[in-house]
Copies of this chain bind each other. A is one copy, B any other.
Amino acid sequence: MFHRRELANAIRFLTVDVVQKANSGHPGTAMGMADIAEVLWNDFLRHNPVNPRWINRDRFVQSNGHGSMLTYSLLHLSGYGVTIQDLKDHRKLHSKTPGHPEYGVTAGVETTTGPLGQGFATAVGMALAEKKLAQEFNRAGFPIVDHFTYVFVGDGCLMEGVAQEAASLAGTLKLNKLVAVYDDNKISIDGETPGWFADDSAARFRALGWNVIADVDGHDAGAIAAAFAAARQSQDRPTMICCKTVIGYGSPNKQGKEEVHGAPLGVEEVARTREHLGWAHEAFIVPDAVMQAWDARPRGEKAEAEWRTLFERYRTKHPDLAAELERRSAGRLPDGFDAAFAREADRILGGEPIRQPIRKASNRVLGNLLEGLPEVIGGSADVSVSTLAWTSAARSITPDDFSGNFVHYGVREFGMSAMMNGMAAHGGLIPYGACYLVFSDYSRNAVRLSALMGLKAIFLYTHDSVGVGEDGPTHQPCEQLVALRAVPNMSLWRPGSELEALVAWESALKREGPSVIVAARQEGGVFAHESSDIDGIRRGGYVLKDSGAKPDIVLAATGSEIGLILEAAAVLEEQGKAVRLASIPNGNLFARQDRGYQESVLAFGTPTVFVEAASPLYWYQFLKGPGTVVGVDRFGESAPGPEIYRVMNLTAERIVSEASQLLR
């Protein structure tokens, strides 16, 4: 049996050799956290490299993702499919070892990290998911869902506000199976942190309701193991293990300094580090005995096999629960979903169109759909009722009861969004979370990561424009719609009717990727749908109404502004104009349709007026001839919403006037 330091050194030398070869990368973190990672992965982490998707695996997240070579080394050593060649391809095009760990690119990477603080918040979401699913599925003698979530964080993660938001909620919700490890090395890119980070982090986390294990020597395997063992005993508090470490541990001339953070050691220093740590092996060579000691496949297969045996007994005793867990883990909607959708559509198509706030329409269809969707876990950043995220089907999750389906996230938009990503990445749950559209700003980078990872997370935003009214410009979004639509792989809905809201939720619940649903607080227009509209809505845009074979003018709008183009159309039709009305509830989807379909809706070349109570920038791409965009490109005012619409010149008269100028 070797000293475990030798096992940890395998991480260190894979890291320094790879970074040296790539001539770019971050060696310091992996060298500093190698001993901690070695203890966690070899003594505690319950996982199976042969099946990285085993649903009851412990989750491991490296929130300080720039030190990705730590994760890649661990995946290589423990038996995931990361080869030495993969390591040599670090930071090369289409490799399995990109600069930062990427979800979906590398088996064993549970979430994309790099944007600091978010990996931590995402891990909090995973721990929440575990606790929720455990309460839902476990039965006496059957701890089917029963795993830990481990997350490594650096100084940078702890400085970011998103980590505070998630940590505070994790403490409140008593997520005791969450174990964080703080790599307290007192170095960030600017140098020694005490000049800009003097928190007593242990005291801070205690104040947030955490079980804190302070002052652990992060290079003492015994102390580390004792800390993890203690952490796993925590009954009602998440655990933060504060480890004192030396960044770049083992590099005689560079350890403990900023220069080892984000640059190769240099050939000479690599050699000196070999000498210093007594690692006599050549670059990329890990002795067989070390590899064997690291190999987690035998014990992983055994652990999973034991769990499978348990699960089969569970299936016998609780066949419905077993089937339900399998369905949800596979990400399949229930068989009845399409029928529920059809019932809702029939209800809407069969009823009289009414004037109602769009958030209200969205709330109704969502509540009805949710009756049959136990996997959906809603929530809101403290504005449950004003966003109407709180539906007829909602029941609160509380610190002592996770049987509900609605998380009160508090005033924490960014934390909420990152936690939603964690739940979606965990599996078994589909999260939606709400706040006012303007405060999507607070959480933007989490929404972006959701799109980058292709997670099924649904961001519900209300209070969507100057229509917000009296709360004034701080609460009135303008640029947020174009900013969110511009995120690659985004699907943003701004429905203008209950039917459009229904299709938006259907799409969001089915899409393998995030969706944004923007549901205005103000009222939509009053108009009747044909059942054939459903197909058009699903394509992101369609002809709502045509007053003649060949339109003289096209008026296109989204959401609450459909009411305005309906009004304007009535005036123009009186003037003898053939008017086409197009609704484009999802510009992202519409932009992905083929040119023929787009043309069939927008009649390219025909004079066109786009109308949306927001920055006009998004719509110019669809103007292929004479036309204009009626939007809002300045900050709003504090006054009743309808009055602001008039002040902003967002009126049917304006649209008629713009159309008339185009037709002149």
Indicate if the CB atoms of B474 and A482 lie closer than 8 Å.
no
* Segment with Cβ contacts to B, from A154-162, A300-308, A368-376, A500-508: A154-162
Interface bits A145-176 vs B (CB < 8 Å: 1, else 0): 00000000001110111111100110110000
Indicate if the CB atoms of B100 and A474 lie closer than 8 Å.
yes
* Docked pose: A650 CA to B200 CA in angstroms: 48
Interface bits A450-479 vs B (CB < 8 Å: 1, else 0): 011000000000000000001111110011
Given known A-B contacts A452-B474, A471-B99, A190 and B638 have beta carbons under 8 A apart: no
The residue from B160, B209, B615 contacting A198, defined by CB atoms under 8 A apart: B209
**Any B CB within 8 A of the CB of A102:** yes
Indicate if the CB atoms of A638 and B95 lie closer than 8 Å.
yes
Given known A-B contacts A22-B470, A411-B160, A199 and B207 have beta carbons under 8 A apart: yes
* Docked pose: A643 CA to B171 CA in angstroms: 45
Given known A-B contacts A24-B470, A411-B116, A444-B441, A207 and B203 have beta carbons under 8 A apart: yes
Interface-central residue, A163, A386, A637, by most chain B CB under 10 Å: A637
Given known A-B contacts A93-B647, A160-B165, A415-B161, A208 and B204 have beta carbons under 8 A apart: yes
Indicate if the CB atoms of A172 and B159 lie closer than 8 Å.
no
* Segment with Cβ contacts to B, from A6-14, A335-343, A617-625: A617-625
The residue from B98, B478, B634 contacting A638, defined by CB atoms under 8 A apart: B98
**Any B CB within 8 A of the CB of A385:** yes
* Segment with Cβ contacts to B, from A45-53, A317-325, A486-494: A486-494
**Nearest Cβ distance between residue A176 and chain B, in whole angstroms?**
14
**Any B CB within 8 A of the CB of A310:** no
Indicate if the CB atoms of A486 and B479 lie closer than 8 Å.
yes
**Any B CB within 8 A of the CB of A633:** yes
**Any B CB within 8 A of the CB of A189:** yes
Q: A621 to chain B: which residues have CB within 8 Å?
A: 616-617, 620
Indicate if the CB atoms of A168 and B159 lie closer than 8 Å.
yes
**Nearest Cβ distance between residue A494 and chain B, in whole angstroms?**
16
Interface bits A626-641 vs B (CB < 8 Å: 1, else 0): 0000000111011100
* Docked pose: A483 CA to B189 CA in angstroms: 27
Interface residues of A in 513-543 (CB under 8 A from B): none
* Docked pose: A412 CA to B159 CA in angstroms: 6
Indicate if the CB atoms of A445 and B452 lie closer than 8 Å.
no
Indicate if the CB atoms of A398 and B195 lie closer than 8 Å.
yes
**Nearest B residue (CB) for A408:** B196
Q: A276 to chain B: which residues have CB within 8 Å?
A: none
- Copies of this chain, tallied across the complex: 2
Q: A66 to chain B: which residues have CB within 8 Å?
A: 471
Q: A204 to chain B: which residues have CB within 8 Å?
A: 204, 207-208
* Docked pose: A310 CA to B487 CA in angstroms: 56
The residue from B93, B188, B202, B638 contacting A411, defined by CB atoms under 8 A apart: B188
Q: A478 to chain B: which residues have CB within 8 Å?
A: 486-488
Q: A442 to chain B: which residues have CB within 8 Å?
A: 115, 160, 162, 414, 444-445
Given known A-B contacts A442-B445, A445-B439, A478-B488, A386 and B189 have beta carbons under 8 A apart: yes
Indicate if the CB atoms of B196 and A207 lie closer than 8 Å.
no
**Nearest Cβ distance between residue A162 and chain B, in whole angstroms?**
5
Interface bits A98-118 vs B (CB < 8 Å: 1, else 0): 111010000000001111110
**Any B CB within 8 A of the CB of A84:** no
Q: A95 to chain B: which residues have CB within 8 Å?
A: 638
**Any B CB within 8 A of the CB of A65:** yes
* Docked pose: A161 CA to B621 CA in angstroms: 36
**Any B CB within 8 A of the CB of A449:** yes
Q: A396 to chain B: which residues have CB within 8 Å?
A: 195
Q: A604 to chain B: which residues have CB within 8 Å?
A: none
* Docked pose: A603 CA to B408 CA in angstroms: 55
Indicate if the CB atoms of B172 and A102 lie closer than 8 Å.
no
Indicate if the CB atoms of B99 and A190 lie closer than 8 Å.
no
Q: A91 to chain B: which residues have CB within 8 Å?
A: 470, 472, 638-639
Indicate if the CB atoms of B201 and A207 lie closer than 8 Å.
yes
**Any B CB within 8 A of the CB of A20:** no
Q: A199 to chain B: which residues have CB within 8 Å?
A: 168, 171-172, 207-209
* Docked pose: A24 CA to B638 CA in angstroms: 12
Q: A102 to chain B: which residues have CB within 8 Å?
A: 472-474, 638
**Nearest Cβ distance between residue A10 and chain B, in whole angstroms?**
24
* Docked pose: A414 CA to B160 CA in angstroms: 9
* Docked pose: A473 CA to B482 CA in angstroms: 20
* Docked pose: A208 CA to B204 CA in angstroms: 7
**Any B CB within 8 A of the CB of A410:** yes
**Nearest Cβ distance between residue A646 and chain B, in whole angstroms?**
10
Q: A163 to chain B: which residues have CB within 8 Å?
A: 161
The residue from B99, B172, B471, B489 contacting A634, defined by CB atoms under 8 A apart: B489
**Any B CB within 8 A of the CB of A21:** no
Q: A99 to chain B: which residues have CB within 8 Å?
A: 470-472, 475, 638
The residue from B203, B410, B479 contacting A206, defined by CB atoms under 8 A apart: B203
Given known A-B contacts A91-B639, A114-B471, A475-B100, A486 and B160 have beta carbons under 8 A apart: no
Indicate if the CB atoms of B633 and A488 lie closer than 8 Å.
yes
**Nearest B residue (CB) for A166:** B161
Indicate if the CB atoms of B479 and A487 lie closer than 8 Å.
yes
Indicate if the CB atoms of B100 and A409 lie closer than 8 Å.
no
Q: A161 to chain B: which residues have CB within 8 Å?
A: 117, 160-165, 412, 414-415
**Nearest B residue (CB) for A634:** B488
A-B contact list, 18 entries, CB within 8 Å: A66-B471, A93-B639, A99-B472, A159-B412, A161-B162, A169-B196, A172-B199, A189-B385, A189-B386, A190-B385, A190-B408, A195-B399, A200-B207, A478-B486, A478-B487, A488-B633, A489-B635, A617-B617
